[in-house]
Chains A and B, each alone.
Chain A
Amino acid sequence: MSDLLQLRDVSLSFKGVKAVNALSFSVATGEICALIGPNGAGKSSLLNVINGVYRADTGDIVFNGARFGAIHPQKAALLGIGRTFQHNALFHRLTVRENVLAGLSRRGTATFLENIFRFGRDGAERRRFIDRADEIIAFLHLDRHAETVVSKLSYGMQKRVDLARALAAAPKLLLLDEPMAGMNQEEKQEMSRVIAEVNRSFGTTIVLIEHDVGIVLNLASHVVVLDYGRKVADGTPDEVRNNPDVIAAYLGTVH
């Protein structure tokens, strides 16, 4: 299996504090890779480096054969990197459907004049967008809420809309930043099923951050453990489960 994403010696610091320290790992095409580690381990920062929200101080990222040190978030999206957010980053005054449609933006081909005056490529684009949005909305069982303004939805539903929005443009790589944060066990199981289903149905490679180790070890096929910006372990769930360093640094402590 080839690697879709490689990180090579990536470092990132804020005001002198290292958030990510000379980190290297690879994500194989089609796998679900989980990043785990205590708070402040640099997991979110790492996702932000991968899709260009932050700029790495040193190191390279290779995605789908393209190599870059820093990338603009829009460019990352165009290459096929999708992303959900830890804290609510939905377009809160738009409906569920509008959020998903906005997620399709990078698939747009019409100019703004075509879009406004509804000529040329606009008609086909409009139909394509609506069909795709409805497909994703149905896939994530959001049909009932399609016309609801997202700020009126429950927290769990909003997380699902965030996923739908990221999935809309059919990314090759999907970065999920704590998709199950703040959910109860039942909701977590449900979200976990949805993520596995996305991976299976669309063949999307997924990198996710999650604190609930039990869920992660069942869902992921590959686990990377971080602590203070460094890699502690990297392997299959079983390997990680039995790694003494991990047990000492992370799994042994109660969260």
Chain B
Amino acid sequence: MSFFLETLITGLFAGLMYALVAIGFVLIYKASGVFNFAQGAMVFLAALAFVTLVEHGFPFWIAFLATAALMVVVAILVEALVLRPLRNRDSLTLFMATLGLSFVIDGTAQFFLGTDVHMLDLGIDDIAEDYAGILISHFDIVASLIVVTLVAVLAIVFSKTRMGVSLRAVADDTLAAQSIGIRLPVIWRIVWSVAGLVALVAGLLWGARQGVQFSLSLITLKALPVLIIGGFSSIPGAIAGGLIVGASEALADIYLGPLVNGSVSTWFAYILAVAFLLIRPAGLFGDRDIERV
């Protein structure tokens, strides 16, 4: 039983990390309707830039702020060079553009910063401790506290500030929002910056776990089933989706894996997501689009 619980809890922690990447997607999707495949590349870029600065002797906070500034620059460039020229184009074209963008971002990151794998030490021990008979890693607990804090901050920012209200107006009705003077390019820049900061946090936590390397950019692929289960436009949905995917994936790997000859983690989340789609096409918290005629 405790083994089951440990697996479940480990899975839930992993799921929280998936959720963190998925939140970056949701922000951008809500504000600009773009399914941003480059979110993973942004995670990788942020982690690689940060670790390079730290390795060159910069203190943690300087490195963090410098990387945050870099992510803002990326957001401004993306808005000017990709989003604005592709305004009013269909979602598949925008998706393909972010695929191209992911090549540019991770190519640039590796071109300038190298292709080596870097270890990243955030000063948090990754040692399992015994909590009431269940082994839980200290790192997992700290990481999930960070994620919870970040989500709380985002929730406050988006519900209380002027910018948050503007963002929700854009998400609800882009045309109406523009007509009351909200400037879309500004919203896009801000939202991509915030998504960049979320990517930075995700990059640090993931990077500390598995090393800063190219495979970080592939966590995008974990975020898609999370979003399908939670709904593309809901932050609570992204969290719930992340937890569901993380937990069921961990359990499936342990209990289903041996029956079918190895790890099922590459595809299990997708099959789960498709099953969800068939039962609840809009995801847990999403809205259903009705085609009006």
Contact = CB atoms under 8 A, between A and B. Distances in A.
Task: Decide if A and B touch, CB cutoff 8 A.
Answer: yes
Interface of A: 48, 53, 85-87, 89
A42 to B, nearest CB: 15
Contacts of B292: 87
A39 to B, nearest CB: 14
The SS class assigned to the B binding surface is loop
Contacts, number: 7
A87 B292 CA distance: 9
A89 B293 CA distance: 7
A89 B292 CA distance: 10
Nearest to B291: A53
Contacts of B293: 48, 53, 85-87, 89
Contacts of A48: 293
B85 to A, nearest CB: 23
7 contacts: A48-B293, A53-B293, A85-B293, A86-B293, A87-B292, A87-B293, A89-B293
Q: Interface residue tally of chain B, by bracket?
A: under 10
A184 B206 CA distance: 63
Nearest to A83: B293
A15 B49 CA distance: 50
Interface of B: 292-293
A48 B293 CA distance: 8
Contacts of A53: 293
A205 B293 CA distance: 22
A85 B293 CA distance: 6
B266 to A, nearest CB: 35
A94 to B, nearest CB: 18
B291 to A, nearest CB: 9
> Ordered nearest first, which 3 A-B pairs have the shortest CB separation?
A85-B293, A89-B293, A53-B293
A220 B62 CA distance: 78
A251 B292 CA distance: 28
Contacts of A89: 293
Nearest to B292: A87
Contacts of A87: 292-293
B290 to A, nearest CB: 9
A53 B290 CA distance: 11
A86 B293 CA distance: 7
A121 to B, nearest CB: 32
Nearest to A85: B293
A10 to B, nearest CB: 18
A16 B163 CA distance: 33
B10 to A, nearest CB: 41
A53 B293 CA distance: 9
A53 B292 CA distance: 10
A154 B253 CA distance: 59
B198 to A, nearest CB: 33
A15 to B, nearest CB: 11
Nearest to B290: A14
A99 B231 CA distance: 35
A87 B293 CA distance: 6
B188 to A, nearest CB: 29
A147 B292 CA distance: 28
B288 to A, nearest CB: 11
B293 to A, nearest CB: 5
A89 B291 CA distance: 11
B178 to A, nearest CB: 22
A100 B21 CA distance: 48
Nearest to A14: B290
A85 B292 CA distance: 10
A86 B292 CA distance: 10
Nearest to A89: B293
A153 B151 CA distance: 50
A48 B292 CA distance: 10
B247 to A, nearest CB: 33
B41 to A, nearest CB: 34
A20 to B, nearest CB: 16
Contacts of A85: 293
B286 to A, nearest CB: 16
A51 to B, nearest CB: 10
Nearest to A44: B293
B70 to A, nearest CB: 43
A130 B264 CA distance: 53
A25 B88 CA distance: 44
A44 to B, nearest CB: 8
